[in-house]
């Protein structure tokens, strides 16, 4: 296969590696890792994040090489490292590059961060999705995002799955589909990039909540209640930010919720579970290998809800529970006493 | 053009110095103008001294060829979308149906044989349908005859003689009127005391624009609030020494003979908003693309229609903007990316301290908030007399009027430097050819172009906010309206508008406090480049600024948005008008700072 048709993956975490392996079925792949020692280790063991690498993958520490050799690049790094990554890559990027990210987090501008810490309020213009971050930090315009029920562990095992690629550009969707699709992996398209990104990001809030429910042995009824009502809050909030409700009923929405909120292999779910068992959030974060995006997301979503006056009692309670040490039982009691209105109001 | 346009850069400091000592700002702005008059009668030389070299003059020499060429290109474009006989028959049938309705209510500008023409097209179509032969040739002949008719109507005629004449005559004529109005006596008609464009201030990135217009192609996109916008911006273009622009003017303006004479010959082409059929719209787009590709500087009002609320445009029509993008793509792909002309988009803000049609506009807006209304275009309101009266009132009102030129950007909304190079957020150069490439190869992709057009429109909307000039009139109107709203904080917009007369009064103290706070925030924003300020807004003596603004704000309306009573309070005679002038500063999040 000619090197011209190489596809890049930036970030060799568990999801990045799983995606690289999927891509390698159809393409030559450059898998980039930030730390040279990491690259050496991956090459030595032919393993990254406990996954054996496909023979079509070349591991590299040279970001310029990735940008030069690949028109299509999948940045899959945690949201707190995303900005640095895109800044490092930016000098080598051109308007004809296609970037499809798989990061389920939000970035906050400095200005917004202070307000968020002081007043628990943040304006939408101070919160960036990863595709907006790519746009603002580089010349790349052909951006897309990849979201859906894609637990890295299962993809690595070769179990069947599907994802959504969202972009304003047909070209991005098509190129992404061609590169990723395979006998065990379906790829759908969407034009609503904001909706798909937000669905993927905000569902982590409910994954944490769902973990708490399990940890407290509150039962499946309670979990269903939390997820359904929490999802309604998320949809209302996302609409205020310009998303299309439909995306929340698709793979990146409901699909991802079903996979993440009931699976102990989800990082965010684990965070919730351990919280319910009485561990402190600090200790949990420090003990985890990869970032659980949901923790930060709860704080941001709560700030956005406050700013736009969207009524989100579940998000609020989770935020107080995690950041203000609200007693778990008090939180549950508050939610159960909450005034009930009509059931479905968001469609 | 022989005018005394005020140039912001030179004058700003001067104005500020004067303001601080002034008894009344008004008098000093007048004095200031005299100063400018002495200094420069020709503020900018023409960048192309000889009219024969202007793209518009060159294209007009090729008019006959151009008509045929646009007809042919449009035909190809329509067939490209769907080359089947059935599809073409459908398009023709739709056009005939719509046109048959239109010709029932003819305008003065319509050709007299309109009815017969469309009847005959209809008959031909009926015959064709009866013997479908799967050959498209006969339909093509009909389409061609329609296109020929449309394109001949659209394409204007540029005349060097008229241009030269109008350049001298128009200011002359209006100067006479102006002086008459100023002295309120026609016997002083030929006493040249006051110059037409003294009240027009030109601010912004004029040098960059002049520079880039020499080698590049300019697409100017102004905000739109008043019927006289196309005339004032036309003067502005001439005042900064640029050649005449192509611009699409509404058919109803051509029904005014006085205007039609000039517009026909100054580069205006006709846009008939009644014709909504796909064939006509395609012809318009093809014409616009061809003009731009051939180096014709063009002007569109991207909002499509006057802003009814006086808010800055928040949404743009993408049709004509798309032609600029198409032109750039074709220039690059046709030349295989070598030695192509670059297109620069220039957002322009037209800011008026007085909009004559404000009462009708704001009424329209309030009736339609939240719902789209179908406007039936009409040519009724415009007679030569009305238009002249209209302009006479506008200029004689001595209202503040500013044309603010934004920085040039490329067709994707990226800023460009003074040499026309596109820059990214970090100031690095971008090669615009890359935008049209897929895997390194230049490639045509309509869907991609549509997204780019959307990006461009987002760029223009941002620039509109940044280049907006806050006039003292807007600042005081904003402060006053928001203070009224705050005082009645429990009521919605409509109750504020319906407030009884006795509540529509503010003390000077109340207004002063609000204005001071507002100006403080505005100057912070100006510092960050988020808005432009008229120098008078920054006057040290806030009371004088308020007096100046209330005096000028909507000066010719029957009911004044704001006036100072004998007892020194500020009174609003018409809340809707106050809302209108206040709206120019909406959307900046200023409400927390009043």
What is the arithmetic mean of pLDDT over A45-57? 94
- CB burial of residue B589 (10 Å; 0-12, 13-18, 19+): exposed
Cβ–Cβ < 8 Å for B412, B207: no
Q: A208 lies in which domain range?
A: 199-336
pLDDT score of B570 more than 60 = yes
Cβ distance of A94 and B431 shorter than 8 Å: yes
Neighbours of B193 (CB within 10 A): 11
pLDDT per residue as tens digits for the range A290-300? 778 889 999 99
Share of chain B above pLDDT 90, in %: 48
Cβ–Cβ < 8 Å for A144, A97: no
Indicate whether A35 belongs to any domain. yes
Q: What was the pLDDT predicted at B312?
A: 96
Structurally, what CATH architecture does the domain formed by B44-51+158-467 represent? 3-Layer(aba) Sandwich (3.40)
A139 and A207 both lie in a single domain:
no
Indicate whether A341 belongs to any domain. no
Name the minimum distance, in Å, from the CA of B435 to any CA of chain A.
5
What is the arithmetic mean of pLDDT over A17-26? 96
Single pTM value for the model: 0.87
Positions of CATH 3.40.1130 in chain B = 44-51+158-467
What is the distance between the alpha carbons of residues A235 and A311, in angstroms, rounded to a whole number? 11
What is the arithmetic mean of pLDDT over A213-239? 93
> Closest Cα to residue B554, out of B495, B478, B477, B490?
B477
The CATH number that applies at residue A308 is 1.10.1040.10
Name the residue among B424, B430, B445 with its Cβ closest to that of A171.
Answer: B445
pLDDT per residue as tens digits for the range B91-146? 999 999 999 999 998 887 788 899 999 999 999 988 887 766 667 888 899 999 99
What is the distance between the alpha carbons of residues A100 and B515, in angstroms, rounded to a whole number? 48
- Report how many Cβ contacts below 8 Å link chain A to chain B: 44
**Cβ contacts of residue B122 below 8 Å, gap of 6+?**
B96, B100
pLDDT per residue as tens digits for the range B18-75? 333 333 444 445 445 444 443 334 468 888 888 888 888 888 888 889 999 999 999 9
> Closest Cα to residue B18, out of B9, B29, B10, B8?
B29
pLDDT per residue as tens digits for the range A123-150? 888 999 999 999 999 999 999 999 999 9
What is the distance between the alpha carbons of residues A209 and A224, in angstroms, rounded to a whole number? 11
A224 and A332 both lie in a single domain:
yes
Domain boundary among A135, A156, A191: A191
- Residue B20 has which token pair? 């601080």
Cβ–Cβ < 8 Å for B406, B463: yes
What is the arithmetic mean of pLDDT over B400-418? 93
Give the residue on A whose Cα is nearest the Cα of B432. A95
pLDDT per residue as tens digits for the range A254-276? 999 998 887 777 889 999 999 88
Domain boundary among A191, A226, A243: A191
A185 and A243 both lie in a single domain:
no
Cβ distance of A170 and B426 shorter than 8 Å: no
| DSSP assignment of A96-107 | T-EEEE----EE
**Mean pLDDT (chain B, rounded):** 82
Indicate whether A342 belongs to any domain. no
- Residue B510 pLDDT level (bands cut at 50, 70, 90): very high
Q: Which of B337, B425, B459, B588 to mutate to test the interface with A (most CBs of A within 10 A)?
A: B425
A15 and A116 both lie in a single domain:
yes
Cβ distance of B447 and A94 shorter than 8 Å: no
3-state SS of A120-188 is: CCCCHHHEEEHHHHHHHHCCCCEEEEEECCCCHHHHHCCCCEEEEEECCCHHHHHHHHHHHCECCEEEE
pLDDT score of B252 more than 90 = no
Is A236 one of the catalytic residues?
Answer: no
Inform me whether the C-beta atom of residue A61 falls under 8 Å from chain B C-beta atoms.
no
What is the distance between the alpha carbons of residues B465 and B589, in angstroms, rounded to a whole number? 12
A245 and A98 both lie in a single domain:
no
Phi, psi (degrees; rounded to nearest 5) at A141? -115, -25
Cβ distance of B428 and A170 shorter than 8 Å: no
A160 and A269 both lie in a single domain:
no
- Residue B151 pLDDT level (bands cut at 50, 70, 90): very high
Cβ distance of B434 and A95 shorter than 8 Å: yes
A13 and A104 both lie in a single domain:
yes
pLDDT score of B264 more than 70 = no
- Residue B398 pLDDT level (bands cut at 50, 70, 90): low
pLDDT score of A122 more than 50 = yes
What is the distance between the alpha carbons of residues A23 and A145, in angstroms, rounded to a whole number? 15
What is the arithmetic mean of pLDDT over A4-26? 93
- Residue B171 pLDDT level (bands cut at 50, 70, 90): low
A216 and A176 both lie in a single domain:
no
Q: What was the pLDDT predicted at A60?
A: 96
Indicate whether A344 belongs to any domain. no
Name the residue among B425, B430, B439 with its Cβ closest to that of A95.
Answer: B430
Name the residue among B412, B439, B448 with its Cβ closest to that of A71.
Answer: B439
Q: What was the pLDDT predicted at B20?
A: 38
């Amino acid at each position: 296969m000619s090197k011209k048709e190489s596809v890049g993956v930036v970030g060799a975490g568990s999801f990045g590696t799983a995606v690289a392996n999927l891509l390698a079925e159809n393409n030559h792949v450059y898998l980039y890792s930030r730390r040279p020692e990491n690259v050496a280790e991956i090459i030595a063991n032919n393993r990254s994040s406990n996954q054996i690498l496909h023979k079509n993958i070349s591991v590299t520490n040279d970001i310029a090489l990735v940008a030069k050799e690949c028109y299509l690049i999948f940045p899959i790094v945690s949201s707190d490292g995303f900005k640095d990554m895109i800044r490092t890559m930016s000098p080598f990027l051109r308007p004809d590059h296609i970037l499809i990210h798989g990061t389920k987090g939000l970035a906050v501008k400095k200005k917004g961060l202070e307000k968020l810490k002081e007043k628990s309020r943040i304006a939408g213009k101070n919160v960036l999705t990863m595709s907006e971050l790519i746009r603002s930090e580089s010349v790349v315009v052909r951006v897309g995002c990849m979201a859906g029920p894609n637990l890295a562990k299962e993809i690595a095992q070769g179990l069947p799955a599907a994802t959504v690629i969202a972009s304003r550009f047909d070209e991005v969707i098509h190129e992404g589909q061609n590169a990723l699709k395979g006998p065990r992996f379906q790829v759908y398209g969407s034009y609503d990039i904001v909706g798909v990104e937000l669905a993927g990001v905000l569902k982590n809030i409910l994954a944490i909540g769902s973990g708490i429910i399990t940890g407290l042995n509150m039962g499946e009824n309670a979990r269903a209640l939390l997820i359904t009502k929490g999802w309604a809050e998320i949809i209302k909030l996302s609409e205020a930010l310009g998303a299309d409700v439909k995306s929340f009923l698709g793979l990146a929405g409901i699909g991802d919720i079903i996979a993440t909120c009931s699976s102990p292999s989800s990082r965010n779910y684990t965070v919730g579970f351990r919280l319910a068992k009485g561990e402190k959030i600090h200790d949990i974060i420090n003990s985890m290998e990869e970032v659980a995006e949901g923790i930060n997301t709860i704080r941001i979503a709560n700030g956005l809800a406050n700013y736009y006056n969207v009524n989100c009692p579940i998000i609020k309670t989770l935020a107080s529970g995690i950041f203000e040490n609200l007693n778990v039982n008090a939180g549950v009691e508050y939610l159960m006493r909450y005034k009930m209105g009509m059931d479905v109001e968001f469609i | 053009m022989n005018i005394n346009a005020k140039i912001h850069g030179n004058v700003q400091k001067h104005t500020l110095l004067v303001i601080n000592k002034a008894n009344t700002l008004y008098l000093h702005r007048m004095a200031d103008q005299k100063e400018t008059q002495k200094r420069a009668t020709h503020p900018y030389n023409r960048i192309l001294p000889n009219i024969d070299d202007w793209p518009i003059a060159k294209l007009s020499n090729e008019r006959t060829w151009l008509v045929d060429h646009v007809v042919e290109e449009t035909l190809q474009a329509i067939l490209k979308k769907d080359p089947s006989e059935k599809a073409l028959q459908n398009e023709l049938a739709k056009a005939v149906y719509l046109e048959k309705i239109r010709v029932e209510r003819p305008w003065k500008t319509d050709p007299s044989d309109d009815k017969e023409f469309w009847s005959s097209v209809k008959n031909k179509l009926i015959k064709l349908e009866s013997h479908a032969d799967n050959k498209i040739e006969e339909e093509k002949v009909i389409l061609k005859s329609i296109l020929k008719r449309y394109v001949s109507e659209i394409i204007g005629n540029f005349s060097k003689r008229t241009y030269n004449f109008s350049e001298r005559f128009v200011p002359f004529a209006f100067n006479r009127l102006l002086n008459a109005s100023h002295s309120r006596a026609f016997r002083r008609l030929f006493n040249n005391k006051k110059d037409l464009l003294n009240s027009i201030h030109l601010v912004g990135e004029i040098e960059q624009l002049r520079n880039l217009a020499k080698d590049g192609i300019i697409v100017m996109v102004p905000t739109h609030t008043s019927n006289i916008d196309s005339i004032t911006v036309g003067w502005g273009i001439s005042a900064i020494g640029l050649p005449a622009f192509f611009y699409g003017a509404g058919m109803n303006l051509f029904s005014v003979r006085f205007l039609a004479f000039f517009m026909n010959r100054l580069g205006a082409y006709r846009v008939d908003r009644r014709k909504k059929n796909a064939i006509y719209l395609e012809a318009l787009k093809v014409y616009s693309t061809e003009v731009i590709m051939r180096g014709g500087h063009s002007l569109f009002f991207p909002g499509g229609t006057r802003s009814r609320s006086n808010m800055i445009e928040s949404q743009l029509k993408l049709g004509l903007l798309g032609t600029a993008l198409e032109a750039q793509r074709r220039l690059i792909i046709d030349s295989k990316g070598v030695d192509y002309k670059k297109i620069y988009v220039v957002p322009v803000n037209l800011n008026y301290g007085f909009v004559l049609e404000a009462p009708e506009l704001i009424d329209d807006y309030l009736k339609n908030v939240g719902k789209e209304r179908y406007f039936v275009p009409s040519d009724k309101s415009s007679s030569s007399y009305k238009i002249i009266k209209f302009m006479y009132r506008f200029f004689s009102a001595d209202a503040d009027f500013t044309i603010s030129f934004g920085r040039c950007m490329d067709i994707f909304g990226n800023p460009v430097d003074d040499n026309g190079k596109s820059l990214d957020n970090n100031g690095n150069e971008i090669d615009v050819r890359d935008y049209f490439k897929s895997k390194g190869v230049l490639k045509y992709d309509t869907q991609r172009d549509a997204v780019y057009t959307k990006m461009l429109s987002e760029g223009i909307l941002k620039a509109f906010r940044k280049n907006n000039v806050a006039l003292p009139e807007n600042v005081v109107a904003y402060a006053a309206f928001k203070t009224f709203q705050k005082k009645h904080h429990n009521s919605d917009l409509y109750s504020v508008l319906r407030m009884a007369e006795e509540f529509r009064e503010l003390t000077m103290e109340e207004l002063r406090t609000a204005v001071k706070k507002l100006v403080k925030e505005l100057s912070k924003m100006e510092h960050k480049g988020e808005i432009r300020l008229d120098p008078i807004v920054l006057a040290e003596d806030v009371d004088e600024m308020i007096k100046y603004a209330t005096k000028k704000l909507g000066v010719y309306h029957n009911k004044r948005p704001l006036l100072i009573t004998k007892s020194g309070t500020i009174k609003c005679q018409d809340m809707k008008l106050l809302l209108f002038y206040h709206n120019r500063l909406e959307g900046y999040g200023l409400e927390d700072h009043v």
